[in-house]
Amino acid sequence: MRSDIVHGALAALALTVTANMATAHEFTAGLLVAGEEREARLAEAVNGFLLAADERDGHADETSDGHLGGVDVQLLPLPAEAAGQVAGLVGTPRMPPDVLVVIGPEPEGSAATASLAFAGVVLRPGALPNGWATEDDTDNFAARYRSAYGSAPTEAAARGYNAARRLDAAIRPLDGISPRVALETALADTASGIDWQENTR
Q: Is the pLDDT of residue 22 over 70?
A: no
Q: How confident is the model at residue 60 (pLDDT cuts 50, 70, 90)?
A: low
Answer yes or no: are the C-beta atoms of 172 and 70 closer than 8 Å.
Answer: yes
CATH of domain 27-189: 3.40.50.2300
Q: What's the N-to-C CA distance of the chain in angstroms?
A: 55
pLDDT in tens, 73-118: 999 999 999 999 999 999 999 999 999 999 999 899 999 999 999 9
Task: Break the chain into its structural domains and give their ranges.
Answer: 27-189
pTM (predicted TM-score): 0.86
pLDDT in tens, 115-160: 999 999 999 989 999 999 998 887 899 999 999 999 999 999 999 9
